[in-house]
A and B are shown apart, each in its own frame.
Chain A
Amino acid sequence: TQLLEQSPQFLSIQEGENLTVYCNSSSVFSSLQWYRQEPGEGPVLLVTVVTGGEVKKLKRLTFQFGDARKDSSLHITAAQTGDTGLYLCAGDTGTASKLTFGTGTRLQVTL
């Protein structure tokens, strides 16, 4: 069973702070996605990374795929209250027809 462990599980910070969320596995993924989910709503796709070592930026969010394609990180610069939500990473092994979702990181950004 492939597992994607995310850390930290919970994070409570003030607006303006920086943070990093980690997603780790012992499995190699052909691609990895990051989603954000707000309470009572479906996960929303933020980014897909496919190449080992790849870095993608989405405004204040920076995503990195590990060189070995087993891990990924999400860095948020100058967090805003609108960044509050559940962040999920999800890996695609390329051989199975399903994504493996991480355990999730719940982020709360306060004023």
Chain B
Amino acid sequence: KQEVTQIPAALSVPEGENLVLNCSFTDSAIYNLQWFRQDPGKGLTSLLLIQSSQREQTSGRLNASLDKSSGRSTLYIAASQPGDSATYLCAVKGNNRLAFGKGNQVVVIP
């Protein structure tokens, strides 16, 4: 059974600092890994999708890396802004489903 862990569970950073969010998973037999953003009481916004054959993906200030063999992914958010405050979810795709971590709850302090 796939287990996905996200560390730290919560963090606060001052505006302008870079954010580093970690995700680990126990079964390396995945098809892809996806990072989502979730605002309180809202749905999921897909940020980045990394296929299993890829090492990283970038979109604007966001960069996600994937090391499938060691079961790790890292999401980097450069020059954080108060609008980046949200919960970030990591999900890995197995055969039929996504397995989610519990999220990294981020607060960016102005």
Q: Do A and B bind each other?
A: no
Listed in ascending order, the chain A residues whose CB lies under 8 Å from chain B are: none
Listed in ascending order, the chain B residues whose CB lies under 8 Å from chain A are: none
